[in-house]
Amino acid sequence: MLTLQKMGRYQGPKGPVVLVIMDGVGLGQGDSGDMVTRASKPHLDWLKQNVVSSRLKAHGTAVGMPDDSDMGNSEVGHNAIGAGRVFAQGARLVNEAIASGNLFAGETWQALMAQCAERKSALHLIGLLSDGNVHSHITHLEALIEAAAAEVKQIRLHILLDGRDVPPTSALEYVDRIEAKLKAVQDKFGVDARIASGGGRMKITMDRYNADWDMIKRGWDIHIKGQGRGFASAREAIEAARAEKKGIIDQDLPPFVIEANGQPVGPIQDGDGVVLFNFRGDRAIELSRAFDEEEFSEFDRGPRPDAFFAGMMQYDGDLKIPRRFLVTPPAIDRTLGAYLAANKVPQFAISETQKYGHVTYFFNGNRSGKFDDKLETYVEIPSDRVPFEERPWMKAAEITDRAVEAITSGQYGFIRLNYPNGDMVGHTGNLLAVEISVEAVDLGIGRLMKAVEEVQGILIVAADHGNADEMYEIDKKTGQPATDKKTGDLRSKTAHTLNPVPFHLYDPTGVAKARLADHGDRELGITSLAATSLKLLGFEPPEDYDPSIVDVG
């Protein structure tokens, strides 16, 4: 089933095919907020002018999102690149499950409601309060609240504030909206529904790849134990934090607990139901483990409540995290990595901690582990635990060091790496740091070009989505950077973009004789990187893969 046919006369390069994913480096408009254009990047500029180059879609339906108004993200981007074709992704699957009623008719939701009704206990909903559609969507939360209000007597929300996939200081818009929803169900059903705790997503609860378990512990203390600084309302907590630290953005807001009469209104207790309503896996796995695992040593949980815990989705199908979930995730099969392993092509994958799971787990179709231990080498460079704007070069040099070693070793046929800089630093909104982050990536690419030339390999340079290419909000009417009506300042943007991403093919020996394939008016997306990689390796891609960007031979 996974056997690939070799091409005719073209058998691939002498050295490896290397796929570079510049996370968050899209193609912007060249305006004052386009840090990719503003950065000094001689190697990327040279590639654009001198090698086979194109533009690829990396958002919306091209990566399995509900529609083309939805930005891409690193999770679905690496799924798409590794899968070679489009699969319906988290947001679309949840939308469909809610619209059809299948979520609420499902075994997990029914069991959750039954327990809360039988034990007269509370339902707790934990997740990102946002409509960014990257980790969650507020409409999903509203649907859960509406359905639960008819079944349970008490609902408590534990809200994580975004400012990363949405405007950086927009938290109160979402708080006001969800408070209105809570009041509506209180009036309609008589349910006691309130916000119980919260905090910025980069301070509590949403760590990933085991980078900072203290974030999970802080979230556990806030959400589960109700231990933390108390306020009468979420609005009061947010306004107090902004008054105390000028310029703070939502993702960095400190944690808070909502109190009444000096007591927290919503600690999680025995018998309660809990739903983590984020659909994206990477920043949901650790909290799920803390709820699910009997033997747990990452931090001292204290007495673990005997609660019914479920995720919006199962975030890791191999490790069964969590055990109970509301919506079945996409079943991504026959990935590029699986085909290469089956056809005995040695692979090397590398990034630093922040994106290590993307070039392994997500690239392999939400699959933990390797397809063949003897043929695959995965390397994680530990990320620095400092604010990204303070060290925008991150671990680009170290990633490059190890990648160059792999390229020149002669051990691998296919190498993939992710430079996280454009995305992780892009989310900070710090323009100078973002500019430097792109320059750090360009330096690394220059070194990779030399290594590939030395061993007569081929280098593919692309991205999973945009971010650093648009650091100001764009006015939809004018197409230019938008200004704040009150201050006249340009409005900062920390979210991903809807821009296409670059594709450059560097073949220093010209062995592939590559040229852009003619696909008529069809706009190719990043899913086509898989078929392109296979062709450059000398294999005929599977018939149902999205077509190669280039023809060879």
Which residues form the catalytic set?
74
What is the number of residues in the chain? 553
Distance separating alpha carbons of residues 34 and 38, to the nearest angstrom: 6
User: CA-CA distances (angstroms) from residue 293 to 18, 301, 451?
Assistant: 39, 11, 45
**Structural element, H or E, at residue 83:** helix 74-83
| Closest listed residue to residue 127, CA positions, set 141, 115, 139 | 141
- Distance of alpha carbon 525 from alpha carbon 55, whole angstroms: 8
Q: What residue has token string 């394939």?
A: 517
> Are the beta carbons of 420 and 467 closer than 8 angstroms?
no
CA angle 326, 331, 336 (to 5 degrees): 145
- Residue 512 makes CB contacts below 8 A (sequence gap 6+) with 10, 13, 458, 505, 536, 550, 552, 553
In angstroms, the Cα distances linking 124 to 256, 298, 512 are 16, 23, 56
- Contact 340/17 with Cβ under 8 angstroms? no
The count of C-alpha atoms lying within 13 angstroms of the C-alpha of 534, restricted to the half-sphere facing its C-beta, is 33
Closest CA to 444 of 24, 26, 14, 41: 41
Burial of residue 540 (CB within 10 Å: 0-12, 13-18, 19+) is: middle
* Cα–Cα distance list, 487 to 173, 482, 484, 490, 491 (Å): 19, 12, 6, 9, 10
The overall longest dimension of the chain from CA atoms, in Å, is 79
Query: Are the CB atoms for 64 and 86 separated by under 8 Å?
Result: yes
